[in-house]
Amino acid sequence: MSNQWILERREVFERDLIQDFFEAKLLFDTIARTYQRNSAVSFDQLNAWVGSDENKGPLWLLKDHSQRLFRTSSSAAGSLYENLFDWTVGSIFHETIKLKEEAYQIESYKPLLEMKVKNKTHDATLGAIIQEYFVLIERAKESVPVAVQNISALFNKVLYHLYEIIYAGRGNMLILLLLLEEEKTAARVFGRDTYRSLLNRMFPEGPHAAWLAAGRYYLEGGWHQQARPFIERCLEIQPENDCALALLADIRTSEEKNGSPTG
């Protein structure tokens, strides 16, 4: 995959990267909630999240996607936020690989050693070795809360970088469509207040303008059916918006002409 090919499709890759990030972040939130309830992390959850070189999970795919996009930029826009995003995602990945290994040790080896002790199927020499491994497992258990906290802190950093990347790329309509079409997901990832502040920063004239811009984009492509809910959402926010009213009238005219119900 050449750098030029990526650069020519940068807007699509940016949208896909953000979508990948949403999935990876929400899966980590699930892992973190499980840890808060049980004071333990699940190896199976971590394995599904990060995956392996042969079967990459959402976090691994996000790391690869970030490197492919942000390390091939020929411009200085390889902005600092993009570079820091890529660096921080890489840090999350490496921290998670260590956590995954620790979870495996705790879940797989601790029961095995406990069974040997319980059944007393070992001599004094092996018993001493078993105790040494118990110490290693206890160290692994002690490192788990630190790792979860570190990953959570890194996600807070990468969210800040992503916020700035999205704002800087606000001309990419594919990103705007993603934010609006997956509004609930975006609000969960950023937090509702931060998500709203992002849209307000992108459209200082008001949130209605975001929905209007998305509706116009679809209309310009000839996609009247896709445009309609965006125009209607704009009118929910600003019922007397002349531009939205005119566009909705055009949509209804097109639907009548093509025999579609106008509602």
Q: Sign of torsion, CA 167 172 175 180?
A: positive
Q: Which residue type, as a one-letter code, is found at position 254?
A: S
| Per-residue pLDDT tens digits for 93-103 | 999 999 999 88
Q: How confident is the model at residue 125 (pLDDT cuts 50, 70, 90)?
A: low
Asked whether the predicted pLDDT for residue 78 surpasses 70, the reply is: no
Instruction: Identify the three-state secondary structure at position 74.
Output: coil
For residue 87, name the pLDDT band (cuts at 50, 70, 90). Answer: very high
- pLDDT (tens digit per residue) in 138-171: 777 888 999 999 999 999 999 999 999 999 999 9
Q: What is the pLDDT of residue 5?
A: 78
Domain boundary assignment for the chain: 3-171, 208-257
Six-digit token string for 216: 């116009």
Structure tokens at 39: 């004071």
Tell me: the pLDDT tens digits for 172-201? 999 999 999 999 999 999 999 999 999 999
Cα–Cα distance between 73 and 67 in angstroms, integer?
10
The two structure tokens encoding residue 90: 């890489």
CA neighbor of 66 nearest in space, from 78, 50, 52? 78
pTM for the predicted model, two decimal places: 0.86
- The token pair at 254 is 């097109």
Alpha helices in the chain (DSSP H): 3-8, 10-38, 43-50, 58-70, 80-104, 110-119, 124-168, 173-181, 183-190, 192-202, 208-220, 224-237, 242-257
